């Protein structure tokens, strides 16, 4: 679609957050005439917190649209996924993905590699570091006034909240929204594969090792590195967590104390994380939003800020980048008219996230019903109940989502109707 840029409204866009969603949004928006974009990142150095990240078909699709896919060259193919008993070593489920040589393989890579690939495509001067948002003010037709903790102030016509599950943008524009501790704490680490490959050959295959209330996830992530992501659940009614506990260093003894019932080889693997190598993440989640836009179409949420599901699907970066790309297409289509573009963004993305919330509720009910049917389940039955081995529902709507096709379908339907 060719657009006469002289007739377009000049749009000042502030993207809050320099993670994958924020960077992808900036890349997509800078391709639109008469749009100036600034990414405000609270960190003084732009780096991802965490260890690994999964790149599946849906994420590759949006990376292709952004022009970034060829820049991401590091990762470990995840054609096979295992689910194992952490105490006995019994294989509970083995899933082999259908291979298609015409498409990019699913991979597990380092979060920093994805971020670096995106940064290559962000224009110089777009990112401002050490800009932690303190508050926002709705200035009506003048836009949104952004106040940062360093005392600086900026004005934007459109604010994109790409600042994650603990979003300041969301908390300001949706003041009654509340996230709560889920009871799950995650500990993540990266270490050389050579440090653990002697323990069990199955550790070289991406997989989960389970007990009833914990699991340990192992996966190579490319370039000779290996990831551990371990989780433990405690009843949130009796345990609390700090909302700001995200990427906090913790000592090895603390982490290992949650996994004492695991196989000796797994405990040894946890013990080989070097001192200072663990980071702790407290998982929070919140209810479904009825709208992803606010303040008369001057604020919009992308990524985890818009659906506080605490990584339930393992594809949060992909969702966030899809959001950013769709937002840019909507603005381009409606020639920078934020009222029409943000309504369209809601139309396309709200039902998608609503379906995710519904799916999680259904799966939780299914597991609860199974436990009730078992009556007094054994340890092994409780472990097996965590694993969806019957295929569950078709999840291609998430993991094979083609956001480009979604957009084309809407355009064709709308243009055809008009």
pLDDT tens readout for residues 79-129:
999 999 999 999 999 999 999 888 999 999 999 999 999 999 999 999 999
Q: Which stretch of 35-44, 98-107, 210-219, 344-353 has the lowest confidence by average pLDDT?
A: 98-107
Angstrom distance (rounded) from CA 410 to CA 57? 21
Q: Residue 51 to residues 188, 222, 292: CA-CA distances in angstroms?
A: 6, 12, 29
Alpha-carbon distance of 82 to 206, in angstroms, equals 6
Q: Decide if pLDDT at 411 tops 60.
A: yes
> Predicted confidence band at 48 (pLDDT cuts at 50, 70, 90)?
low
Residues 277-305, mean pLDDT to the nearest whole number: 96
Q: Is the pLDDT of residue 286 over 70?
A: yes
**Nearest Cα to Cα of residue 189 among 86, 273, 275, 75:** 273
pLDDT at 279 over 60: yes
Average pLDDT over residues 47-65: 90
Beta bridge partners of 218: 207, 228
Residue 290 burial (10 A CB sphere; 0-12, 13-18, 19+): exposed
- pLDDT tier at 15 (50, 70, 90 boundaries)? very high
Beta strands 80-85 and 207-210 are parallel
**pLDDT tier at 47, thresholds 50, 70, 90:** confident
Q: Are 50 and 247 in contact (CB under 8 A)?
A: yes
pLDDT at residue 394 in the model: 82
List of residues 6+ apart from 74 with CB closer than 8 A: 109, 110, 113, 222, 223
Tokens 């699709």 locate to 61
Report the pLDDT value the prediction gives residue 49, as an integer from 0 to 100. 65
Higher-scoring residue by pLDDT: 250, 386: 250
Lowest mean pLDDT among 52-66, 116-130, 232-246, 346-360: 232-246
Question: In the chain, pLDDT over 70 holds for what percent of residues?
Answer: 95
Q: What's the whole-number average pLDDT of the chain?
A: 93
Q: For position 390, what pLDDT does the model report?
A: 45
Instruction: Give strand pairing partners of 128.
Output: 40
| Helix or strand (DSSP H, E) at 51 | none
**Model-level pTM?**
0.94
Query: Nearest CA to 187 among 303, 110, 270, 107?
Result: 270
Burial (CB count within 10 angstroms: exposed 0-12, middle 13-18, buried 19+), residue 99: exposed
Beta carbons within 10 angstroms of residue 2's beta carbon = 4
Compute the residue count for the chain.
418
Q: Tokens 């069990």 identify what position?
A: 200
Q: Which of 25-29, 162-166, 222-226, 387-391 has the lowest mean pLDDT?
A: 387-391
The rounded radius of gyration (Å) of the Cα atoms in the chain is 22
Helices 20-29 and 316-333, axial angle in degrees (round to 10): 20
1 confidence band (pLDDT: 50, 70, 90): very low
pLDDT at 244: 63
pLDDT on residue 391: 43
> Do the beta carbons of residue 209 and residue 266 sit within 8 Å?
yes
Distance CA 122, CA 378 (A): 53
Cβ-based burial of 8 (10 A; exposed 0-12, middle 13-18, buried ≥19): middle
Q: What are 336-391's pLDDT values in tens digits?
A: 999 999 999 999 999 999 999 999 999 889 888 988 898 999 999 999 988 855 44
Give the DSSP H or E segment for 256.
helix 252-256
User: CA–CA separation, 145 vs 332, rounded Å?
Assistant: 24
The pLDDT of residue 7 is above 70: no
Give the C-alpha separation, 378 to 167, whole Å: 41
């Amino acid at each position: 679609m060719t657009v006469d840029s002289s007739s377009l409204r000049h749009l000042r866009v502030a993207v809050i957050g320099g993670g994958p969603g924020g960077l992808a949004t900036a890349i997509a928006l800078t391709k639109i005439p008469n749009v100036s974009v600034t990414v405000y990142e609270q960190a003084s150095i732009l780096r991802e917190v965490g260890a690994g990240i999964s790149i599946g078909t849906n994420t590759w699709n949006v990376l292709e649209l952004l022009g970034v896919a060829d820049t991401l060259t590091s990762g470990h193919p995840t054609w096979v996924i295992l689910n194992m008993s952490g105490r006995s070593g019994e294989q509970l489920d083995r899933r082999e993905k259908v291979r298609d040589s015409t498409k990019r393989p699913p991979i597990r890579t380092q979060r920093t590699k994805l971020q670096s690939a995106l940064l290559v495509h962000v224009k110089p001067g777009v990112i401002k570091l050490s800009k932690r948002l303190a508050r926002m003010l709705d200035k009506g037709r003048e836009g949104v006034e952004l106040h940062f903790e360093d005392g600086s102030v900026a004005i934007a016509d459109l604010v994109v909240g790409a600042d994650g599950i603990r979003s300041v943008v969301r908390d300001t524009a949706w003041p009654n929204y509340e996230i709560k501790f889920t009871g799950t704490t995650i500990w993540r680490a990266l270490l050389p594969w050579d440090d653990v490959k002697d323990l069990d050959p199955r550790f070289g295959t991406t997989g989960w090792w389970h007990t009833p209330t914990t699991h340990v996830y192992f996966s190579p992530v490319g370039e000779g590195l290996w990831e551990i992501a371990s989780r433990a659940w405690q009843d949130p009614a009796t345990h609390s967590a700090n909302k700001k506990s995200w990427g906090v260093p913790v000592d090895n003894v603390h982490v290992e104390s949650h996994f004492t019932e695991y196989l000796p080889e797994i405990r040894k693997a946890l013990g080989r994380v070097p001192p200072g190598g663990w980071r702790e993440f407290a998982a929070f989640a919140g209810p479904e939003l009825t709208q992803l836009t606010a303040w008369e179409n001057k604020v919009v949420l992308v990524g985890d800020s818009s659906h506080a599901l605490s990584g339930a699907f393992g594809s949060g970066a992909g969702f966030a980048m899809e959001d950013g790309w769709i937002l840019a297409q909507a603005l381009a289509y409606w020639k920078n008219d934020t009222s029409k573009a943000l309504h369209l963004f809601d139309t396309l993305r709200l039902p998608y996230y609503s379906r995710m919330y519904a799916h999680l509720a259904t799966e939780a009910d299914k597991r609860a019903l199974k436990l009730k049917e078992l009556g007094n389940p054994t340890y092994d039955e409780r472990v097996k109940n965590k694993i969806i081995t019957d295929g569950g529902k078709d999840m291609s709507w998430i993991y094979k989502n083609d956001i480009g096709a979604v957009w084309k379908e809407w355009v064709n339907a709308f243009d055809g109707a008009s």
